[in-house]
Amino acid sequence: GESVGLHLPTLSVQEGDNSIINCAYSNSASDYFIWYKQESGKGPQFIIDIRSNMDKRQGQRVTVLLNKTVKHLSLQIAATQPGDSAVYFCAESILTGGGNKLTFGTGTQLKVEL
Amino acid sequence: DTGVSQNPRHKITKRGQNVTFRCDPISEHNRLYWYRQTLGQGPEFLTYFQNEAQLEKSRLLSDRFSAERPKGSFSTLEIQRTEQGDSAMYLCASSLTGGVSYNEQFFGPGTRLTVL
């Protein structure tokens, strides 16, 4: 079988630099998008979300950008810290009639180097 | 601790055995979700409940899998006649419903199943 799933894309950044993690989503009917952070041995943790009627949303040190034309999401982390090291997943959802179930994309391993 | 809890955290079983996992959601949350995550992949939706009603099941959920939420609080996920391909992390999440608003799903730590 295909083993590509065992080789997560990895982003290595220096502490203090900005990180950009990208994601392509699949369903043009999705109207809600979420970024999750997952540390080893833990469940996913909510970071930030964005509705499909927006193209940018900012949180504390994080910004999510949405480009519906090309079905692309990005997560920007400012001043990356060692505690940001984790796997990051984007997820898409349909708010009405979809039960809010999440469809996750391929994760990206973020490694912060001191 | 008021978060989502799952038990056991780890389960090792032999092929062909049955296993059952438990999820205790955040107390006031009426929605409960089960996901499965294999190494290097994102979680995949299995099923969800609103209160005690199971409203959707993924095609990933074969006949060997059954989930219940009898009183609308905790949930169990049973796998019968386990196969090596069932080895994965089983995640539970809970949320409140809120009309057309998205309500954050809070995930538990997961149960890691290894089928020998």
Q: Which of B7, B24, B102, B112 to mutate to test the interface with A (most CBs of A within 10 A)?
A: B102
Of B48, B95, B100, the CB nearest to A96: B100
Of A44, A100, A105, the CB nearest to B107: A44
Q: Tell me the C-alpha distance between B66 and B80, whole Å.
A: 8
User: Over its length of 114 residues, how does chain A's per-residue pLDDT go in tens digits?
Assistant: 333 345 689 999 999 999 999 999 989 889 899 999 999 989 999 999 999 999 999 999 999 999 999 999 999 999 999 999 999 999 998 877 667 889 999 899 999 998
CA-to-CA separations, A60 to A17, A43, B81, B103, in angstroms, rounded? 15, 21, 47, 20
Count interface pairs A-B at CB distance under 8 A: 69
